[in-house]
Structure 1
Amino acid sequence: MRKRWFSQVQHTFAVWASTTLLTLSLGFSPTLAQDPFRATNQRQIGDNTEAAFKAIFEQGNYQAAVNYLNQAETSEPNEPLAYAMKASLAYTLNDDINAFGNYGKRTLEAGRQLIAQDPLRGNLYAAVGHFLQGAAALVREGTVRGTPQALSELRQVYAYLDKAEAIAPNDPELNLLRGYMDLMLAVNLPFSSPQQAIDRLVRFAGPRYLADRGLAIGYRDLDQYTEALTYVDRALQATPNNPELYYLKAQILAEQGKKQNNPSALKAAVENFDRAIAKKDQLPSSLVKQIERERSRTVQRVSGAS
């Protein structure tokens, strides 16, 4: 459960891919940095931060991302997006909650410093920093002791998000991050409606394939498998080299096959688990183990359905 929460947190705050797809490898040398979210009114994002962003969210290549982020920490010390990704990788790769919290704090500090220069992104990443601090408190302190701080941080999250939204309500980066946050909360809290978050991701969020990925996750968690498959296929069409998307599609098909007693969906799930595992060398070892466990359970269900 804790890993699933952090997987959702990771894809909530992170900084996802640019509209121009590039093939990344450990030897890729970035040139002019581009804004990965906006076609107009672009912001300058550092070369290494952008390369790390693409490595994770276009290619699912975490090892390449680590190299780029290590360089970004020196070359781009004022970019909050880099610290947000560092926080994610600290937990995803090393299960290091202390580093996760520390980089969350640095995300918050960098976001606040950016407000004078770029109020939209500054307020947005101050919100992300508080979000990460709240998640760290829940894991470090446990649900009972950590909830008061997490709720306090969440109030700060939405205070900063409201400030960012007052500046540019249709901004793609804002709507991507807020859409992910709102949808994650809506599908996990009783009496919450996900529709507003879904509308935000459909209408305003960018880049498109990351919005589609968020919608696929949301519809998966709402047990709406037809819609989930539609959106994950759209994301795969744009970024076909990312093994995490095959894992997501496999999860959707496995749940559909289990709950609808559909052997064809289960077999298709196994095929997509295999496509994800084929690139296991570039994924976190903990994620690979999780994929293999889910594949094994699905294979057992296929045998039982035969």
Structure 2
Amino acid sequence: MINSSRCKAQKFPLMIRQVFWGMSASLITFSSGINPSLAADPFRTTDPRPIGSQTETAFKAMFERGNYKEAQQVLEKAKLQEPNEPLVYALLASLAYQDQDFNALKTYSDQTLASAKLLSTKDPLRGNLYIAVGLFLQGGHTIVTEGTLKGAPKALNQLQEVLKSLNVAEKINPQDPELNLIQGYMDLLLSLNLPFSDSQKAIKKLEQQAKPSYLAYRGIAIGYQNLGQYDQALSYTEKALSEAPNHPEVLYLKAQILAEQGKKLKASNQTLIPSQLQEAKQYFTQALNQSDQLPKRLVAQIFYEQCKNLNRIDNQGRPCDPLRDKIKDANGLWGPTANQLPPL
């Protein structure tokens, strides 16, 4: 989902998507009305925090099964039943960004920040953590609505405030797995876009201190992919799939890595059809088999990359751009079923 060319062209907006598809899971509910003995915490095996049942259900739908359509339906209930939970608004903001509904993105970004400020009076670590999340989302909204030239200086100022809030949270408990998941993703994505940043340090944080493991592994795979270390990237996609089997975005990530490997090999020998291209075809197909539970713009991108990969395999000239746009421009937020995708 991140690749080097797109990082250069879409730095801050792409970071929003990656951070919040990957890390929004790290928000939890804090409510004095919930019995801590009933806590269901996906990040900690000791001292678990309480999480609202709807929020937990949405979390599992999105990050264990990759069913974003189900997650959104549950989040609509969570807005009513768990209205003080920052995770609800952060996840809804990420879905709004996918749908390019920038008014909703602004609304949910503001609600993330407001609920995080309330949370900080009861739980300073999480409160500051999600103040950072809300500010980051607001910065993303500025970029996509005002443009890079005008919006970047404002967003960069907000980024400084994001880092301040993360530092406050880190001082409270630097070993907290939830904090390390979010901060690890953030550090990794910044390191891939800013000079003098240390990608290996971010990868180490994700590997050693972040939970749940399947989200950490996925982030590490993205990091190695962008560093061009494809064998390591594939190793961590396997680890992620071992904990979240058949997750469509992880299957897509594996397909991307294999396609990148195959593309480079074919560039050095035009008569060769690298096995990686055939393997990539398999994983693109597996991801697209679940297209109706993914946002349509993500489906369109997976489909486009599958189309390009097939053209490299058989040297055909499939019109990948208009086929992609047919999916992207359809009504609604979600992708079509697999049998409704344009034929390739």
Q: Residue 48 of structure 1: CA displacement? A: 0.6
Q: Residue 95 of structure 1: CA displacement? A: 1.4
Give yes or no for the alignment of 1:102 onto 2:102.
no
AA aligned opposite 1:114: L
Q: Residue 5 of structure 1: CA displacement? A: 4.0
Indicate conservation of the 8 Å contact 1:17/1:57, yes or no.
no
Q: 1:6 to 1:151 in 2, by over 3 A?
A: closer
Q: Residue 116 of structure 1: CA displacement? A: 1.4
Q: 1:13 to 1:153 in 2, by over 3 A?
A: farther
Partner of residue 77, structure 1: 83
Looking at structure 1, the residues matched to 185 and 140 of structure 2 have their Cα atoms a distance apart, in angstroms, of 15
Indicate conservation of the 8 Å contact 1:280/1:288, yes or no.
yes
Give yes or no for the alignment of 1:277 onto 2:277.
no
Q: 1:182 to 1:155 in 2, by over 3 A?
A: same
Task: Give the TM-score of the pair, scaled to structure 1.
Answer: 0.91
Looking at structure 2, the residues matched to 42 and 160 of structure 1 have their Cα atoms a distance apart, in angstroms, of 22
5 Å-filtered alignment, 1:180-191, equals 180-191=185-196
Partner of residue 246, structure 1: 251
Give yes or no for the alignment of 1:161 onto 2:166.
yes
Looking at structure 1, the residues matched to 22 and 290 of structure 2 have their Cα atoms a distance apart, in angstroms, of 23
Q: Residue 17 of structure 1: CA displacement? A: 11
Partner of residue 43, structure 1: 49
- In percent, how many aligned pairs have the same letter? 51
Q: Residue 6 of structure 1: CA displacement? A: 4.1
Q: Residue 196 of structure 1: CA displacement? A: 1.4
Q: Unaligned regions of 5+ residues in structure 1, if any?
A: 19-31
AA aligned opposite 1:253: L
Q: Deviations over 1:132-170 (max 9, x none)?
A: 111111111111110121111111111110110011101
Partner of residue 221, structure 2: 216
Q: Which has the larger radius of gyration?
A: 2
Q: Unaligned regions of 5+ residues in structure 2, if any?
A: 1-5, 29-37, 267-272, 317-344
Tell me the C-alpha RMSD between the 2 structures: 1.8
5 Å-filtered alignment, 1:56-67, equals 56-67=62-73
Indicate conservation of the 8 Å contact 1:16/1:210, yes or no.
no
Between 189-198 and 51-60, report the one with greater CA deviation. 189-198
Aligned with residue 192 of structure 1, among 185, 197, 205: 197
Partner of residue 11, structure 1: 21
AA aligned opposite 1:237: S
Indicate conservation of the 8 Å contact 1:61/1:282, yes or no.
yes
Partner of residue 309, structure 2: 298
Looking at structure 2, the residues matched to 17 and 168 of structure 1 have their Cα atoms a distance apart, in angstroms, of 16
Aligned length: 291
Which secondary structure state, in structure 2, belongs to the residue aligned with residue 14 of structure 1?
Answer: helix
Give yes or no for the alignment of 1:125 onto 2:130.
yes
Indicate conservation of the 8 Å contact 2:39/2:49, yes or no.
no
Between 195-204 and 7-16, report the one with greater CA deviation. 7-16
Task: Give the TM-score of the pair, scaled to structure 2.
Answer: 0.81
Which secondary structure state, in structure 2, belongs to the residue aligned with residue 260 of structure 1?
Answer: helix
